[in-house]
Amino acid sequence: MALRLFNTMSHQKEEFKPREEGKVGMYTCGPTVYNYFHVGNGRMLVVFDMIRRYLLYKGYDVTFVQNFTDIDDKIIKRGQEEGRDPLELAQDYIGEYFKDAAALNLMPASIHPKATDHIPEMIEIIKGLEEQGLAYAVDGDVYFAVDKLPAYGKLSGRTLEDMQAGARVEVGERKQNPMDFALWKNAKPGEPFWESPWGKGRPGWHIECSAMSLKYLGSGFDIHGGGGDLVFPHHENEIAQAEGYLHGETFARYWMHNAFLTINQQKMSKSLGNFFTVREILEHFPGEVIRFYLLGTHYRSPLDFDDENLRMAQKGLERLQTSIRLADEALGRQGQNSADAAPEQKLRAAAEEARREFEEAMDDDFNSALAYASLFELGKAINAHVQAYPYSSEGLLKARATLWELADVLGFDLAKPANQAEAGNQKLDQVMELLLEVRAIARKKKDWEMSDLIRDRLKDLGIVLEDTPQGARWTLR
Ligand code: AMP
Ligand code: ZN
């Protein structure tokens, strides 16, 4: 079936037709790195990761670019507050980003460009805009002249008259029109700066995404995404910059925006201070559960954050995991289920039906919430089957493989425990395995001091080691 997606530009669902057969170029506006990311940012990240995974499932070769904004007012301010170099601070939070991203099972982007690595590309575009009369410089600042671009406002559906009605020029700005926006900012004392044709300065916020998406994906790339707060002004301005620079060529074909994660019906945001970082939530729930919760609502519907919803997500994920466990137990048992072929037929049909419904839901603007229903149905069919027919069979193998695969398309590993205690146990097993390996190496080198130290310290922790001919074993006292 054809994939349809909601394009913010046309305000309707459209059939997805990529620029190039079989290939998708996708860009999303990633985090501004001056803190751990919050679960609202997490929603955007998980949503576009799910979209990317489904495109891969459909057979597309996907190039996925997600930037890091590593220079802006907030990063500079945080650096000043902490007495640190803002660029170093941003780099640290990029490192932290990858830890939380892994917990949410986000695939790393094909390319994760950083704004500060693309200053020459940004300067190139600004120069091009200036040459065309779409930008003007005033005392080291450069502004985009919105009224020189007739199409300005096409994404957000605003007219310049509407926009100007509420706008005013801030003190110190030298704009010709209140809606003009900064492409380049003159350096203030103590701030990081780069050399440019307009003197020492730094880029405005919007220009980085035009520069980096065009560099890695070229003009007319397929999908540009981000949270709904970015439609105006950020994406509107990205379009103005890119299409101005490209003499009217299309910048991106489809614009996709996720709805907000809210808290008491208010947008979760760093500036309002009403946020929970993913790092904090991971202390109480595994990343898989957070992901399951975030995809349990269609990406264009608002989602309110609360603990109860997370607990419900945990239960839902556990149900699917239980079906996999029950199937695996039955698949490990040899025996005669039934002389009648009908039950197996029925299970096979359930698996096919689940895949059909899953694809139908996902083809309809990536309706992951509806896709969950097909997974639960298949899980139920597996549970009922193994209860009546507890032995291995081809039909069961197929149903199990289908459930596993479809969950994987949404980014869930159904073998990962959805429960913190179990997750802890699994980690303990892994850490113990590592310690025993270290101890075995020590023993091989006849480093008895190290080997005994490990054994004695573990004993203090209530973990008893026993050396057997097959290697060391451990038990909890
Ligand atoms: P920021 O770090 O604020 O630049 O945001 C990074 C990404 O997260 C952007 O694509 C935002 O649109 C998105 N985002 C920010 N807050 C929320 C929220 N409460 N719900 C959903 N997406 C959000
Ligand atoms: Zn952007």
The string of pLDDT tens digits covering residues 110-136 is: 999 999 999 999 999 999 999 999 999
Q: Which ligand is nearest to the CA of 72?
A: 1
Mutate to test the pocket of ligand 1, among 27, 28, 44 (most ligand atoms within 8 A of CB): 44
Output the CA 94–ligand 2 centroid distance in Å.
17
Q: Where does the pLDDT of residue 162 fall: very low under 50, low under 70, confident under 90, or very high at 90 and above?
A: confident
Confidence check: pLDDT of 382 > 80: yes
Output the CA 311–ligand 2 centroid distance in Å.
33
Residue 230, ligand 1, Cβ within 6 A: yes
Per-residue pLDDT, 433: 86
Residue 258, ligand 1, Cβ within 6 A: yes
Residue 297, ligand 1, Cβ within 6 A: no
List all residues 6 or more positions away from 326 whose beta carbon is below 8 Å from its beta carbon.
Answer: 382, 383, 386
Per the CB < 8 A criterion, the answer to whether 297 and 369 are in contact is yes
Output the CA 231–ligand 1 centroid distance in Å.
11
Confidence check: pLDDT of 7 > 90: yes
Distances (CA, A) of 21 to 96, 209, 328, 346, 348: 37, 25, 39, 37, 33
Amino acid at site 461 = L
- Residue 20 tokens, joined: 């190039």
pLDDT mean over 362-388 = 98
H helix or E strand, kind and range, residue 473 = strand 471-476
If one counts every other C-beta atom within 10 angstroms of the C-beta of residue 122, the result is 26
Output the CA 2–ligand 1 centroid distance in Å.
29
Q: Which residue, judged by its Cα, is nearest atom 11 of ligand 1?
A: 227
Per the CB < 8 A criterion, the answer to whether 65 and 109 are in contact is yes
Output the CA 206–ligand 2 centroid distance in Å.
6
The C-alpha atoms of residue 372 and residue 324 are separated, in whole angstroms, by 15
Q: In whole numbers, what is the pLDDT of the chain averaged over residues?
A: 94
| Mode of pairing for the β-strands spanning 261-263 and 303-304 | parallel
The C-alpha atoms of residue 129 and residue 124 are separated, in whole angstroms, by 9
Mutate to test the pocket of ligand 1, among 41, 100, 224, 231 (most ligand atoms within 8 A of CB): 41
pLDDT mean over 357-370 = 98
Per the CB < 8 A criterion, the answer to whether 269 and 260 are in contact is no
Q: Which residue, judged by its Cα, is nearest atom 14 of ligand 1?
A: 41
pLDDT tens-place string over residues 233-251: 999 999 999 999 999 999 9
pLDDT mean over 179-187 = 96
pLDDT mean over 369-394 = 97
Point out which residues pair with 431 in neighbouring strands: none
Per-residue pLDDT, 43: 98
**Number of residues written out for the chain:** 477
**Shortest-distance atom of ligand 1 to CA 227:** 12
Output the CA 10–ligand 1 centroid distance in Å.
22
- For the chain, the straight-line distance linking the first and the last C-alpha, in angstroms and rounded, comes to 57
Q: Which ligand is nearest to the CA of 67?
A: 2
Per the CB < 8 A criterion, the answer to whether 396 and 330 are in contact is yes
- Residue 341 tokens, joined: 């072929």
Output the CA 40–ligand 1 centroid distance in Å.
6
Q: What is the DSSP letter of 135?
A: E
pLDDT tens-place string over residues 401-458: 999 999 999 999 998 766 656 666 767 878 888 899 899 899 999 999 999 899 889 8
**Shortest-distance atom of ligand 1 to CA 275:** 19
pLDDT mean over 86-99 = 97
Per-residue pLDDT, 417: 65
The C-alpha atoms of residue 388 and residue 84 are separated, in whole angstroms, by 65
Burial of residue 197 (number of CB atoms within 10 Å: 0-12, 13-18, 19+) = exposed
pLDDT tens-place string over residues 332-346: 999 988 888 899 999
- Cis peptide before 233, with omega less than 30 degrees from 0? yes
pLDDT tens-place string over residues 303-313: 999 999 999 99
Q: Where does the pLDDT of residue 171 fall: very low under 50, low under 70, confident under 90, or very high at 90 and above?
A: low
pLDDT mean over 266-282 = 94
Q: What is the pTM of this model?
A: 0.89
Q: Where does the pLDDT of residue 294 fall: very low under 50, low under 70, confident under 90, or very high at 90 and above?
A: very high
